[in-house]
A and B are shown apart, each in its own frame.
Chain A
Amino acid sequence: NAGVTQTPKFRVLKTGQSMTLLCAQDMNHEYMYWYRQDPGMGLRLIHYSVGEGTTAKGEVPDGYNVSRLKKQNFLLGLESAAPSQTSVYFCASRPGTLYYNSPLHFGNGTRLTVT
């Protein structure tokens, strides 16, 4: 029972480099989310998806792109990394429409450093 799996766990990038963070869930959840966590800021929503092939912007979407080609996967891309994107990134998922009070299931995070 893997739940939500994020890869990689750690990554160091140089300014201007690109990378993709992968999130996979095996719970058949409709909704998936990408958050970033920074000290004193809590978790801020980057992008989310309410189903395969759909994505939407969250609170802090600039500099990121996402794709949901398969229901179980949600990819977060950084096209040109900046030091301000140094953060811990969390993926989460939950069941869809009828389950607004269902909790999020979180991955263990990806720690990204941009130098």
Chain B
Amino acid sequence: GNSVTQMEGPVTLSEEAFLTINCTYTATGYPSLFWYVQYPGEGLQLLLKATKADDKGSNKGFEATYRKETTSFHLEKGSVQVSDSAVYFCALDPSGYSTLTFGKGTMLLVSP
């Protein structure tokens, strides 16, 4: 079946540090890959996506590259801010019907 594995959190960083949150997946075929973010007190929202191998999704300084050979979609940001503190979810869409399989989420805490 389809599954997503994320690194466990919380990830604790100081402001301006480099961020990596690892994500690997198992799926048949060629799924689309996503990162969703849940800020405190808010609903889940799409952060970035990639729909085919070697695509790079980017938004708000965050990037992730669809690596088919390693079945990975790691999230990176060069310099985190306190406002980036949130829970980050990696997800895949195996069918093209927007029926997502999510990882367990990784909490990021950024201190000043």
Q: Do A and B bind each other?
A: no
Chain A residues close to B by CB (< 8 Å): none
